[in-house]
Structures are given as structure tokens and as C-alpha cells.
Amino acid sequence: MEAVLMRILFISQLFDPEYSIKGLGLMKHWVEQGHEVEVITTFPNYPTGRVFPGYKRKLKQVEVIDGVKVVRLWSHISHSKSKLSRAATYLSYTILALCYALFSKKPDVVYAYHPQATTGLIGIILKKLKGVHFVTDVQDLWPDALVATGLNKAGLVVRLIDRWCRIVYMQASAIVVLSQGFKTALVERGVPESKIRTVYNWCPEELHISEALDGQNNKVADQKTKARVVYAGNIGAAQSLASLVDAVGTFPDPTVVLELYGNGVEKEELETLVKSKHYGNVIFKGYVSSSDIFDVLIGADILAVHLRSDPLFKITIPSKTQSSMAVGKPILMAVGGEVNDLVMQAGAGVTAEPQSVESIQKALGLLLARKSDWEQMGQSARDFYEQNFSSRVNYQKLDDVLKDVSHDNS
């Protein structure tokens, strides 16, 4: 298929220097391909709800970064947990982004990224008024994600959001999803399979990881040392780490140690659990900056990934999967479903059922019994990442999506 140069309008409330998988790196890639790229975003403030140093909130700020035009628009910003305040944040951004997009130069393609529901509205309106095709990127499957947090599946809010998301799917020229499970779920909802493309997420820090790996002696731990199991990330309700803590805390082999890096709403409760049960081999290490965390991961023996047992999580691929594989360490994956299957396919470690102490202990026992295979597991994880999850592979998949959309426009 002949390459077509395009004007791409990328709409995302989340953008660099905030942590964003599809961010400045992807935009620079498109510019290198010869495309004209414009980003509509707001002032960086996630996750604290406070504008990052070096930025001052105003009506509009335009900057060009390595050929990428980044337009930052005012929006309501709050770090409050109030649902109304969060809704105001989303709606204010959407209204200003829509107004800017309507009166700016017509793009060839709109890529609606984050959040999916509100950026999808902008894509639909530009399609209707300017005849522009758009791509919607599904990072969270709605309303399933809301149901997983406790909302009533049969409630009015969930039904309205479900209806709206179906409209976005049907109006989009192409739909990008992060897993095969998401694709299957959308097909079951009546979305044409022909417009859905599975594009795996990558680890935005993959270059940093490669540099860190080059600078370390990444050998298997000595047989006499303790086996360090590391969990790094959010410690919240979705992660539901009590089962992992209990599994290691009551594990019969005293040489196994679980280190937890990060913060979250369930951290204090887990610390109380550890103290009350006198687990001497479970250690809370606190928050570690993103610039330092990969040195921690590379120094681990086993990397643990765990989510609550939920139908939604069985069809998703948590971002820790990509970062864990990229650092080349054996993985204890306790999520279930598709991502468990990927770890087994890669030969990258062992799997367990989430929220099952018995299953996690069995998986950990298998890993310890195969200590001589840890180096090969880590290499297999790294190879699988390079072949399936890397930005190199998935940038190309997104290039193909844009090419197909552009040919539909012609």
C-alpha cells in the first residue's frame, strides 16, 4: 500500500510530560514519517491534580516539540475525589478542545485517545461537520470498567454510558484495542470485526530499560541468597494484593521475600495485615520514582503481577506486563485469562489464579524448583516483548491503521 502523508489531529487530555503510553514518542514517530501532527491537550497535572512545574495554566499555550505542534487548553483541574469535580475536569477540556478543533485547519485523520468517551464526541462532531474520519482508542472497556469498581450493571448511568460508547464505536472509522479480549467483547456487542485492530501497548521507558540492562550484570541470583519477589505499582482495590501478601507471608520456604514498591488506598490496610500476622518476609518499600524503579526491577529475582479476580481483568493486559517482560525477569502472573496465556506462550514464568493463596503458592513453588531456568525465562520474556509489545512493532501497526483510514477518505 502506497504511503500517504496526512495531517493528524491527536486528541488526548493526558499527554507528556504526564505518563502516557501513546504520547510524544508516537507523535515524533509520525512526524518522522512525514506527517503533520497536531496535539490538543491540557496542562499536565496527573496524578496529583496540580499543574507541573514549568507550566502555568492559561486559556491556550502552543509549543512545538521536535516538529510536533502541542496545543494546551485551559480546563478545570482538581485533585479532589469528588465525582462532580472530576466530571467538570473532563467536560471543560472537551468543550474547549472541540471549539479549538472546529475552528482549526481541517485534519485528514482524528485520533481520539484519552478519555475515550469524551474524545470520541469530538471525533463524531468533526466527522459530521467536516467529513473527517476518526480512530478511537479503547484503553478502558466502558462501562465494564465502571461495573468493576462497583457501579450497578443494570443502573441508568451504566446503561447510558454503554449506549454512548456503542455510538462512538459505530461512528469510528477504526477502533484500536489493547487486547484480543477487548476485540472479542466489542464484536459480541455488534461492532463490525473489520474495523477493530488489536495493537498492544508498549512500555514508554523501553529505551531507559535497555540502557539500565546494559549497565548491570543481569545474572541469576546465587542459589544461597534469598529469592526476592518484587511487586511495583499501585496498591489499590483493583490490585487486591492481600492474597499475594498472604501467599508469601505463609510460604513454607523462609528464604522468599516479597518487596512492595508504591502507594495506594489499600497500602495502610495491607501494612496492618502484615503486622497483625507477623509476616517477617513482606516488606513495604514505599514510592520509588519512575527514573529509579527499573533499577529495582532489574535487581529482582521474580516480578509479580496481580489483579482482583474480575471478568474485565481477564480480557485486559495490565501495563506491568510490558514493563516486566521488558526488564527480562521471570514473572509470577496472577491475573487470569488472556495475559496468563501470554506469559505461558512466551515461556516467561508461571501463572496463578488471582485472589487464590493456594494457587499463588503453588506457582511460587514451581518457580523456586526451576531456579536454574530463571535466566532463560527472563530472556524469553525480553524476546517476547521485542517481538510483540515493543514500540517498533506496534508503531508499525498504528501506521497501518492510519493508512487504511486515509485510503477510506480518498
For residue range 296-315, what is the model confidence (pLDDT) as tens digits?
Answer: 999 999 999 999 999 999 99
Query: Average pLDDT in the 331-352 region?
Result: 97
Identify which has the larger pLDDT, 263 or 47.
263
Q: How much is the pLDDT for 187?
A: 97
Q: What percent of the chain has pLDDT over 70?
A: 96
For the sheet with 133-138, list strands across it: 60-65, 68-73, 36-42, 7-12, 109-114, 133-138, 174-177, 196-198
pLDDT for 97 beyond 90:
yes
pLDDT for 273 beyond 60:
yes
Domains and CATH numbers, the chain: 7-202+390-409 (3.40.50.2000), 206-388 (3.40.50.2000)
116-120, 320-324, 340-344: lowest mean pLDDT where? 116-120
Q: What is the pLDDT of residues 352-361, one digit of tens each?
A: 999 999 999 9
* pLDDT band, residue 409 (cuts 50/70/90): low
Query: Average pLDDT in the 368-386 region?
Result: 96
- Please check whether residue 396 is in contact with residue 199, taking contact to mean a CB–CB distance below 8 angstroms: no
Residue 134 identity: F
Query: Average pLDDT in the 132-144 region?
Result: 93
How many residues make up the chain in this entry? 410
Say how far apart CA 66 and CA 29 lie, in whole Å.
10
pLDDT for 219 beyond 70:
no
Identify which has the larger pLDDT, 344 or 153.
344
Q: How much is the pLDDT for 165?
A: 94
Identify which has the larger pLDDT, 50 or 126.
126
Query: Average pLDDT in the 120-140 region?
Result: 95
3-state secondary structure the chain: CCCCCCEEEEEECCCCCCCCCCCHHHHHHHHHCCCEEEEEEECCCCCCCCCCCCCCCCCEEEEEECCEEEEEECCCCCCCCCHHHHHHHHHHHHHHHHHHHHCCCCCCEEEEEECHHHHHHHHHHHHHHHCCEEEEEECCCCCHHHHHCCCCCCCHHHHHHHHHHHHHHHHCCEEEECCHHHHHHHHHCCCCHHHEEECCCCCCCHHHHHHHHHCCCCCCCCCCCCEEEEEECCCCCCCCCHHHHHHHHCCCCCCEEEEEECCCCCHHHHHHHHHHHCCCCEEEEECCCHHHHHHHHHCCCEEEEECCCCCCHHHCCCHHHHHHHHCCCCEEEECCHHHHHHHHHHCCEEECCCCCHHHHHHHHHHHHHCHHHHHHHHHHHHHHHHHHHCHHHHHHHHHHHHHHHHHHHC
pTM (two decimals): 0.90
* pLDDT band, residue 292 (cuts 50/70/90): confident
Q: How much is the pLDDT for 381?
A: 97
Q: How much is the pLDDT for 45?
A: 92
Q: How much is the pLDDT for 224?
A: 52
Q: How much is the pLDDT for 218?
A: 47
Q: How much is the pLDDT for 2?
A: 54
- Please check whether residue 277 is in contact with residue 344, taking contact to mean a CB–CB distance below 8 angstroms: no
Q: How much is the pLDDT for 177?
A: 97
